């Protein structure tokens, strides 16, 4: 099932959270929505899920406009705001949360055991959710998203709170879900972590694609050495670096964190495109 976001815009008063954003997410691979805090990731996902209405533009899942879809459709598994979602369930055990959800949605009880096992919470199923670490809440949130065995998964910041073992687990899980033909969209704000986990990235900053749809969708590079770059011309340099196959994150202070090109290559690309550099600093000794 394809996700299509077209010219999506959302303003809250003077703040434009998402600005004319367009991208597509295909089935059978894991797609990352990457951007710094405040980039508009959660807003985009809320609009995609029909939880908020756009100022302009549209979003569709499997060719159907999101706002024409029945509320609570079971073909999309969702993880949003893990902190908030279990607030009213702190006294319940993990198993009780999942059986309650299964009952409300007419899902067979046997599925609860399957998802508990899938997310590695079988041993903790009788613990109250209020005692869970953030990583355990993330796992429980992912279990909720998987419960109906949906063909589409939309997960907002699922990596927050996961330790190294959790990241390895999440990578294997998301890759397997995609290999089964599902559409998996995962947001995150840490380039190296997210890039390691996905097949494709859509990068946004300040509500916009960093470098236009063609360039912002790129194959993830295995070279993870990072270089910190400063330029007065953020938009142009981001665009040309992404064109060269780099992964570019625009940080809150307008510095760039570039993965996939060496400092020397970045310097050459900037020179060839007549973009001034104010800083070019490898962040790992591997450079």
The rounded distance, in Å, linking the Cα atoms of 89 and 68 is: 31
Supply the minimum distance, in Å, between the C-beta of residue 15 and ligand ADP. 5
Q: Between residues 34 and 177, which has the closer beta carbon with respect to ligand ADP?
A: 34
Q: Between residues 39 and 61, which has the closer beta carbon with respect to ligand ADP?
A: 39
Supply the minimum distance, in Å, between the C-beta of residue 67 and ligand ADP. 18
Q: Between residues 46 and 111, which has the closer beta carbon with respect to ligand ADP?
A: 46
Residue with tokens 């997310």: 119
Instruction: List, edge to edge, every strand of the sheet that includes 256-259.
Output: 247-250, 256-259, 226-230, 279-282
Supply the minimum distance, in Å, between the C-beta of residue 278 and ligand ADP. 26
Supply the minimum distance, in Å, between the C-beta of residue 42 and ligand ADP. 3
Supply the minimum distance, in Å, between the C-beta of residue 203 and ligand ADP. 11
Supply the minimum distance, in Å, between the C-beta of residue 156 and ligand ADP. 7
Residue with tokens 């060719």: 63
Query: CB-hemisphere CA count at 13 Å for 80?
Result: 15
Cβ burial of 274 (10 Å; 0-12, 13-18, 19+) is: exposed
Q: Between residues 12 and 271, which has the closer beta carbon with respect to ligand ADP?
A: 12
Q: Between residues 78 and 263, which has the closer beta carbon with respect to ligand ADP?
A: 78
Q: Between residues 9 and 24, which has the closer beta carbon with respect to ligand ADP?
A: 9
The rounded distance, in Å, linking the Cα atoms of 17 and 269 is: 31
Q: Are 156 and 79 in contact (CB under 8 A)?
A: yes
Q: Between residues 15 and 281, which has the closer beta carbon with respect to ligand ADP?
A: 15
Supply the minimum distance, in Å, between the C-beta of residue 229 and ligand ADP. 21
> What are the helix (H) ranges across the chain?
41-48, 82-85, 94-104, 110-118, 134-146, 164-179, 191-197, 212-216, 234-243, 263-272
Per residue in 73-85, is it b (16+ CB within 10 Å) or e — as a string? eeebbbbbebeeb
- The binding site for ligand ADP (CB under 6 A) comprises 12, 15, 17, 35, 37-43
The rounded distance, in Å, linking the Cα atoms of 187 and 36 is: 10
Structure tokens at 160: 């927050």
């Amino acid at each position: 099932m394809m996700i299509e976001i077209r010219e999506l815009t959302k303003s809250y008063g003077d703040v434009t959270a998402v600005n004319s954003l367009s991208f597509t997410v295909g089935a059978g691979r894991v797609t990352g929505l990457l951007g710094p805090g405040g980039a508009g990731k959660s807003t985009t996902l809320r609009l995609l899920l029909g939880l908020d209405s756009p100022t302009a533009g549209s979003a569709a899942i499997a060719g159907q406009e999101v706002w024409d879809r029945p509320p609570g459709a079971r073909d999309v598994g969702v993880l949003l705001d893990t902190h908030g979602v279990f607030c009213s369930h702190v006294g319940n055990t993990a198993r009780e949360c999942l059986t309650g959800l299964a009952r409300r949605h007419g899902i067979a009880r046997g599925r609860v055991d399957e998802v508990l096992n899938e997310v590695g919470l079988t041993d903790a199923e009788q613990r109250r959710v209020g005692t869970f670490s953030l990583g355990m809440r993330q796992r429980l949130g992912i279990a909720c998203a998987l419960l109906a065995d949906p063909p589409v998964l939309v997960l907002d910041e699922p990596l927050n709170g996961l330790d190294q073992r959790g990241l390895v687990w999440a990578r294997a899980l998301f890759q397997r879900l995609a290999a089964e033909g599902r559409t998996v969209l995962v947001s995150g704000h840490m380039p190296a972590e997210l890039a390691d986990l996905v097949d494709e990235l859509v990068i946004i900053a300040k509500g916009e694609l960093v470098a236009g749809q063609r360039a912002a969708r790129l194959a993830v590079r295995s070279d993870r050495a990072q270089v910190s770059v400063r330029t007065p011309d953020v938009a142009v340099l981001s665009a040309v670096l992404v064109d060269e196959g780099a992964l570019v994150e625009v940080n809150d202070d307008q510095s760039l964190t570039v993965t996939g090109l060496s400092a020397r290559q970045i310097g050459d690309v900037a020179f060839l495109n007549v973009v001034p550099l104010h800083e070019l600093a490898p962040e790992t000794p591997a450079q």
